Amino acid sequence: MTKPPGWVAGAAVLFLGVIGATAAWMAPPADRPIALAETSLAGRTRAQRLNAERCAASLNGAVIRAGEVWSFNQRVGSWTRDQGYRRAPVSYNGQLIDSWGGGVCQTSTTLYHAALMAGMDIIERHPHQFAASYAPPGRDAAVAYPDIDLRLRNPWNFPVRVDARAVGGRLRVQLRADHPVPLRPRVETQVLATKPPATYAVDPGTVRHRNGGKPGYEVLTWRVWPDGRELVSHDQYPTMHRIEVRR
């Protein structure tokens, strides 16, 4: 076979080099994490873990467009049996009762913490009635379909993608983007007051459930930006007193 002249071969190499450079120039920036939050699944019941993981699977891959107000409830939908959720313990008026989707709030809480660190605008967020065991007070986000929601607005001029999954006994939420965040805040919790639970003994049959108790808190949650501090929330969690059944 006759070889092409040297200038033709050289031109071909140059042409391929130009194609490669053009392709590299046209390729989108690499996807990168802009915030990461984790909460532990240790101590949760099997049903709570399954519900949290099922909810994370529904969140995974969600895209929050630039300037969009995004709804957790709209993305996840109802956490009912037909959606693959199970009955699991939830706190109601200081007592643990079984309800569909118990454990979903751990997923919304983990997302909320990541959103704070990514500089998202918090349009709607609700604290739990009592402080959650899997997150610091002031950094939880309760949800209840369809009325109690977590809504975020993406303030950046690029979309943000949600990567949510369970990894090694922990629930992990990463927010990722094709561009770096111009400003990343630091999140701080200021505990103004802590009230330990008291212990009350009752006769058998007067309560359905024993109650291990939880401290009460008054907390401020701040985002610290390079140019100042932003008060995110002022939350007050009442004390859940311990109930012991007399023998």
Residue 8's pLDDT is 42
β-strands 160-167, 170-177 pairing: antiparallel
Q: Is the pLDDT of residue 4 over 70?
A: no
pLDDT band for position 137 (cuts 50, 70, 90): very high
Average pLDDT over the chain, rounded to an integer: 86
Question: In this structure, what token pair is assigned to residue 27?
Answer: 């390729």
**Predicted TM-score (pTM) of this structure:** 0.84
pLDDT band for position 89 (cuts 50, 70, 90): confident
Q: Which residue has the higher pLDDT, 206 or 166?
A: 166
Contact 198, 134 (CB under 8 A): no
Beta-bridge partner residues of 70: 152
Residue 22's pLDDT is 45
Where do the structural domains in the chain lie, given as residue ranges?
Answer: 28-181
Q: Is the pLDDT of residue 10 over 80?
A: no
Distance from the first to the final alpha carbon of the chain: 99
Say what percent of the chain tops pLDDT 70: 83
β-strands 216-225, 186-195 pairing: antiparallel
Beta-bridge partner residues of 233: 221
Q: Is the pLDDT of residue 112 over 80?
A: yes
Q: Is the pLDDT of residue 28 over 50?
A: no
Q: Pinpoint the alpha helices (H) of 94-150.
A: 104-117
Contact 200, 243 (CB under 8 A): yes
Task: State how far the alpha carbon of 217 is from the alpha carbons of 115, 120, 126, in Å.
Answer: 23, 25, 15
